[in-house]
Amino acid sequence: MKLTYLGHAAFRVEIPGATILIDPFLSGNPSFPSDMSVEKASEGVTHILLTHGHDDHTGDTIAIAKATGAQVTANFEVSMWVQSQGHENINPMGCGGTVDVGPFAVSLTQAHHTSSSLAGGWPPVYMGQPNGLIVRAKDQPTLYHMGDTDIFGDMALVNELYAPKVGIVPIGDRFTMGARTAALACRRFFDFDTVIPCHFGTFPILDQSADAFVREMGDQGSRVKVTAPGASLEV
């Protein structure tokens, strides 16, 4: 599995048979690599997975989906919104559900956050329940993108059900967990081999570095892979 961080909560995931974009907020994203185009980041994409409907997560979904034909998997409301924007290749699901798309299976977990869109101005459009994403593929480590969330006790059940080995964890505070809470979630509920922090440093009101998170991870700090936007790692 090759993971490329595209800034904020956006990732490109390459596995045999599929290239996946998660929460592709690229254009308008201050942390999206300046030397990378949206076209390059989405080259060969077959699937787009969305955790929730906020504009800093749906981002370039519609343009990329139309350009590539990628299948968009998200909760029912976000999927219907994608369809309303003129893209028919959608794969709606709900929290707790799992769908097999061939090269991989995706499951939606709960997340403690909100989900709406301000793309059409005020009032916001309701976009269903926010989610985390579990991605499972044969001979690949199980990936858990937590989405935007606070810590919650049922993370223990997420671990029991799916045993993820790669965790993408929001740490920026204010709108998600901060360093201390995110580290507690990772240490108490999971046995990750690799932890990739995200949702920090994008905007001035978020925590600007992952340093505090690494410190809070203590003796598990070596599992944290602080990844610069545009950089890739193999897991």
What ranges do the domains of the chain cover? 2-230
The β-bridge relationship of strands 105-110 and 232-234 is unpaired
Write out the two tokens for 19: 């290239």
Q: Which CATH class is domain 2-230?
A: alpha beta
The pLDDT assigned to 131 comes to 98
Look up residue 124 and give its DSSP letter: P
Average pLDDT, the chain: 98
The pLDDT assigned to 56 comes to 98
d(CA 13, CA 1): 7
d(CA 7, CA 202): 7
The pLDDT assigned to 208 comes to 98
Write out the two tokens for 20: 């996946």
Which H or E run includes 232? Answer: strand 232-234
The pLDDT assigned to 120 comes to 87
The residues that bridge with 2 in the sheet, in sequence order, are: 14, 234
Q: What is the pLDDT along the chain (235 residues), one digit of tens a residue?
A: 999 999 999 999 999 999 999 999 999 999 999 999 999 999 999 999 999 999 999 999 999 999 999 999 999 999 999 999 999 999 999 999 999 999 999 999 999 999 999 988 999 999 999 999 999 999 999 999 999 999 999 999 999 999 999 999 999 999 999 999 999 999 999 999 999 999 999 999 999 999 999 999 999 999 999 999 999 999 9
